[in-house]
Structure formats: C-alpha cells, structure tokens
Amino acid sequence: MSLKAGIVGLPNVGKSTLFNAITKQNILAANYPFATIDPNVGVVVVPDKRLDNLNEMYKPNRLIPTSFEFTDIAGLVKGASQGEGLGNKFLSHIREVDAICEVVRCFEDSNIIHVENGIDPIRDIEIINLELAIADLEIINNRIDKIKKKAETNRDKEALVELEVLRKAKDNLERSIPLRMVSFTDEEMIYLKNFSLLTIKPIIYLANVSEDDLVNGNKYVEEVEKYALKEKAKTIKMCAKLECELCDVDEEEKLEMLNAVGIEASGLDQLIKATYDLLGLETFFTVGKDEVRAWTYKKGTNAKKCAGIIHSDFEKGFIKAEVMSYDDLIKYGDELKVKEAGRARLEGKDYIMQDGDICLFRFNV
C-alpha cells in the first residue's frame, strides 16, 4: 500500500531539516529558498511497541515493521499558483500526496532569513493555504467551463450533478474555506477525487520551535494551535534541529536527551503516529518463527482485501482468515491458550479488519 504524506511550508521554516531527521538522509538544508528543488521521498518506520512485544514472544528470523512515505516538497512562496518561484512544479508534487504536513516557523533566529522578512505563523499559513486554494479554483473553473454547456443545454444528468458539486466547491473556496472543511457526500466525493484537489487533503500543522520552547511553547505556537482548532486539525510542536540530533544517537541516549528537555516522545515519533492516523491507517500482524511482520491497511478494509496486501494470490483464492487480537495474545500468553479460551476466530471475506488483529489467511489458488 503506497501512501504518502507531503511536507510543505515557506522557504527556511525547517522543512528540509525535519526531512533529514525523518529519513536520516543528508538532504541539502541550505539557508536560502529553493535549496530543495525536486521532491525527496523517504520511507519512515511506524513506531509500534506491539511489534517489539511480538518479536520478544516469537523470536523470529525477521522482524518487519510497517512504513509509509514522506515527501519533502520544496518551499512555496507567495504567487506559487501563478508560477512564482518554482510554484507550479511544487503544486503538482503536492497533488501526488495523500495528506499534508505544513511546517510553520515558530522560532526567532536572526541568522536564518525569512522569505517574508519576519516571524508571523498565521500569515505564513494563510499564504500557503491561499496558493493551494487558487490552484484548486483554477482546476474547478476550467472543469466548469468544459461541462457547463453539456449540463445546462443538453440537460445531461451526470453533467448536471457534477456541475452542482463543482459550484459547491467553488463557492467555498471563494470564501476562503478549504475543501477539507466542507461536508461532501460519498457521491459528491467521487466527482472531486478525479482532480486531486489540494485543499481537500487532510492536514497537520507542525510548529517548529527552538529547544527552549519545546516544553512550554510560545505565543507563535498558541496562534497556530488556535488556527488549527478552527479546522479541527492537529498541531504538533517540535524542534527540527533537535530531531536531527536525536537521529544520530542510540535509543538509550535518545531517551536521556528527551528527559533532559522534559518530553516523553520525540516530535518525529508523534508526527509519524499522527500522520498514520490522519491517513486513516491501521495495522494487522502476521506472526511465526520465520517472520513477524506489521502490515498497513486502510481502516474499514475487509479480510479478503487485507489478504491481497500480502499477496494477490491470497485475495484471489481467499477461503477464511484465522484471527486473534494482539490484546488477547498478550493476555493469555500464547496462541494455544488464546484458542483454549475461545478467543481465536475464523472470519470470512467480509470481516472488517480491526487494528491489532493477528491473522493467518487460508487460501487456495
């Protein structure tokens, strides 16, 4: 399952520094706009203590965590939707992701220039959100022009429905309402999904602070949190510089450094988990002496489709899924005791998988 989260923001807000931490790669993080021109893609491992416990229990030859992709997209600037900077190219890269992580500068540092010559996180957010909205409006207006005659002159039912949905989207965008805040029916979403609209993508705001403000935050973080709350979006406070430093040490030293600044989990771990949730992802496991593995699936997926994530033959020849929950396995201690307690089940193809399910798929091709 290939799902991506895109990291966006104005130049010099800490995007590439954060991406360095995410992927432990040495992507150029220069003190000038457009240091990153092509999008960089990195795969991140999703932290999951359940996998560690299963590893301890089964002691497999291989332990494979689940993962997804982060894409670092070069800094947007005012006018990007009209081609300013390298805007149109960057906007096309954002269209390819499933969720947006918007980095907002919430720290002051005279040594790092700001493209807008001053720290104002809400201005920065609104610059980016406006550019995304303008880009969406251009696509919607072009489509309206294309189908308007077919809908209104020929009274084509399909075109009339699509036109109504597009006008609803246009009206909201013109009132500065991102489409992710608009209620669309499942039928309406079918029409909108064809256009990879930017403002319909779910979003997380990353308030990039100095190490001194990591625990208590500052006035800038409060402004971002208040703004995000209106969108029912999540804000994560993190210090990108510290996250890079944490990547270069072992787990024990990492915990010591986190304790020293007064936080329990790194911002990176919080970001990965929050993005995983934002994408509507959950995890099921397969276990055994040869391999213990975590698998990513979209919430609401049935057993047959999940079997296909492992191998297409599993889906084609699906018979049944032997299922037990992670919690039951930990509670009873081993698979045999789970079965003796009557907690192991045989589920059919329409069973909706639950986060933490441990599965053995029966199939015949």
Phi then psi for residue 224, to 5 deg, are -65, -45
pTM, entire model: 0.81
* Contact criterion met (CB below 8 Å) for 10 and 112: no
Interhelix angle 240-247/267-278, rounded to 10 degrees, is 100
pLDDT at 89: 57
* Contact criterion met (CB below 8 Å) for 184 and 165: yes
* Contact criterion met (CB below 8 Å) for 288 and 59: no
Paired tokens of 283: 């995890």
Phi then psi for residue 58, to 5 deg, are -95, -20
* Contact criterion met (CB below 8 Å) for 294 and 65: yes
Paired tokens of 40: 């960089």
Nearest of 73, 66, 68, 29 to residue 243 by alpha carbon: 29
Burial label for 283, CB within 10 Å (0-12, 13-18, 19+), is buried
Q: Which residues of the chain have pLDDT under 70?
A: 1-2, 24-39, 74-91, 113, 115-116
Q: What distance in Å separates the CA atoms of residue 107 and residue 114, rounded to the nearest whole number?
A: 11
Paired tokens of 344: 């192991």
* Contact criterion met (CB below 8 Å) for 33 and 113: no
pLDDT at 40: 76
Q: What distance in Å separates the CA atoms of residue 301 and residue 281, rounded to the nearest whole number?
A: 10
Paired tokens of 62: 């291989």
Q: What distance in Å separates the CA atoms of residue 164 and residue 343, rounded to the nearest whole number?
A: 50
pLDDT at 76: 62
Q: What distance in Å separates the CA atoms of residue 18 and residue 6, rounded to the nearest whole number?
A: 12
Phi then psi for residue 40, to 5 deg, are -105, 135
* Contact criterion met (CB below 8 Å) for 359 and 285: yes
- 206 CA to centre of own chain: 12
Q: What distance in Å separates the CA atoms of residue 29 and residue 36, rounded to the nearest whole number?
A: 8
Q: What distance in Å separates the CA atoms of residue 181 and residue 38, rounded to the nearest whole number?
A: 30
Greatest CA span in the chain, whole angstroms? 70
pLDDT at 75: 58
* Contact criterion met (CB below 8 Å) for 40 and 71: yes
| Amino acid identity at 116 | E
Q: What distance in Å separates the CA atoms of residue 138 and residue 140, rounded to the nearest whole number?
A: 6
According to DSSP H, which parts of the chain are helical? 15-23, 49-58, 87-95, 121-152, 157-174, 186-192, 219-230, 240-247, 251-261, 267-278, 303-310, 312-316, 326-332, 335-340
- State the virtual CA torsion across 217, 131, 69, 46 in degrees, nearest 10: 30
Nearest of 46, 14, 265 to residue 124 by alpha carbon: 14
| Helix (H/G/I), strand (E/B), else coil: 175 | coil
pLDDT at 151: 79
Q: 177 Cβ partners below 8 Å, 6+ apart?
A: none
